[in-house]
Amino acid sequence: MFKMSKNWYPVVNYDKCIGCMACIKKCKRRVYQLGLDNKPKVVNPDNCVEGCHGCGNSCPTNAITYFGDNSDKKTINSCGGCSSMDNKNNLNMEIFEPAMCCDTGLCGVSINPELLRISTVLNTLKKNGVVVKRFNLSSAPMKFVNNKVVNDFINNNGVEKLPVILLNGKIVISGRYPTNEEIIKLLNLPKNLIDKKPSCNCKSDSCDCNGGCC
Ligand code: SF4
Ligand code: SF4
């Protein structure tokens, strides 16, 4: 039993969309079609399921919002498979990145798979209430100047050794991004958090998520 909705459907921000197609792959209800510009088009909004955030949760650049979503509560637990948590363990991770074209480094023509991975992982964490801050040298240079640990690191090693990963103010990784496993370990998170289905607030009796987000 599906609750089709004229009151709820995805809206794509094409300034943020990088055309990765994750939303099209995610939606089993054919709400999207690939446009001639290789970007997703919402062609069947009435097929969208009210409360579902499946495609939005899959989007690495947060390009999808929902018409009809007034709650702004994207991590409400109403599916059996959803979960929400915060940085209760007081572990604070920050990523200081080299100069990039935009906040995620994903706006260029060719997509760096490592940047896509880290953006997707950080989005998943954020949707589960775990915030990892990231700063890049071109858009937030003062963050690098004002952080003594990062400033010293750059003075000693050069900007070419970025990114640098801080945990509670101390450098734990440099010269590369942390693996998914390292992020889980460093932040003391459940092992399956990154790979499990993302959080949503759809009602399990109104879509086909079966408690795990559609
Ligand atoms: S994945 Fe869910 S929210 Fe996205 S278009 Fe499909 S039904 Fe709608
Ligand atoms: S998942 Fe997001 S970035 Fe990827 S194609 Fe869809 S809207 Fe664009």
pLDDT digits (tens, 9 = 90+) for 82-122: 333 335 567 899 999 999 877 777 776 677 889 989 998 99
Confidence of residue 4 (pLDDT cuts 50, 70, 90): low
Task: Output the pLDDT for position 196.
Answer: 55
27 CB within 6 A, ligand 1: yes
The ligand 1 atom at the shortest distance from the C-alpha of residue 54 is: 1
Instruction: Report if residue 63 sits inside a domain.
Output: yes
The tens digit of pLDDT for each residue in 8-27 reads 899 999 999 999 999 999 89
Identify the CA nearest to 167 among candidates 150, 147, 186.
Answer: 186
Q: What is the mean pLDDT of residues 116-142?
A: 88
Q: Which residue has the higher pLDDT, 128 or 176?
A: 176
CA distance linking residue 205 with residue 214, whole number of Å: 12
Task: Find all residues with CB under 8 Å of 109, minimum gap 6, and list them.
Answer: none
User: Are residue 149 and residue 206 in the same domain, yes or no?
Assistant: no
Report the CATH number that the domain containing residue 21 is assigned in CATH.
Answer: 3.30.70.20
Ligand 2 atom closest to Cα of 16?
3
What's the CA-to-centroid distance between 79 and ligand 2, angstroms? 24
Check pocket membership of 52 for ligand 1, CB cut-off 6 A: yes
Q: How far apart are the C-alpha atoms of 5 and 19, rounded to whole Å?
A: 25
Within this chain, do residues 163 and 204 fall inside the same structural domain, yes or no?
A: no
Minimum-distance ligand 2 atom for the alpha carbon of 62:
2
